[in-house]
Amino acid sequence: MTLTIRKSVFLPADQTTVWDHLTRADLLGKWFHPASSDLVEGQPYTLLSQKDGDRMCWGTVEKLSPKDHMRWSFTVGPLNGTMTTVDWHLTTAPGGTQLSLEHSGLPEDAEGYGLVLALDKGWHGFLGNLHEIETMALS
């Protein structure tokens, strides 16, 4: 069994709006990290630090099924080049969209556990940011 982080959030926005926030460079920076370009299937991506513009995380967009599913290979500096996988699933929910994230292929050793905790905390915060943006758009 591989170590996997799973998160889910209900957003008061339609799937198209949520999808745009996951794939458009101008919107990614509002809740996650600024992107160097829009996310395109088969293309590498780089997300930058909000603080200093340095490369924060990167990989390749492996799959895009617009408004339903996206898969990235994903790494950050502390993973020392090891690629993990992030899957995003969007489903229609009453009044909006359920967004689910699954981050798999994470380190399973004791040394990697601190990184897993940091990633778990990060995903929790970023999905909270997205929820706040979508909720504020309604008011």
**Where in the chain are the domains?**
3-138
Q: What is the DSSP letter of 100?
A: E
Question: What angle, 0 to 180 degrees and rounded to 10, lies between the N-to-C axes of helices 113-138 and 15-23?
Answer: 130
Q: Are 71 and 87 in contact (CB under 8 A)?
A: yes
Q: Using CA atoms, how far apart are residues 12 and 95, in angstroms rounded to an integer? A: 6
CATH number of 3-138: 3.30.530.20
The predicted pLDDT at position 139 comes to 58
User: Which structure tokens are listed for 11?
Assistant: 């957003």
Query: Residue 48 has what pLDDT?
Result: 93
Nearest to 76 by CA among 48, 98, 51: 48
Q: In which residue ranges of the chain is pLDDT below 50?
A: 1
H-assigned helices in 1-139: 15-23, 25-31, 113-138
Q: How far is CA 30 from the centre of its chain?
A: 13
Select from 109, 139, 107 the least CA-distant residue to 5.
Answer: 107
What are the tens digits of pLDDT across the range 15-49?
999 999 999 999 999 999 999 899 999 999 999 98
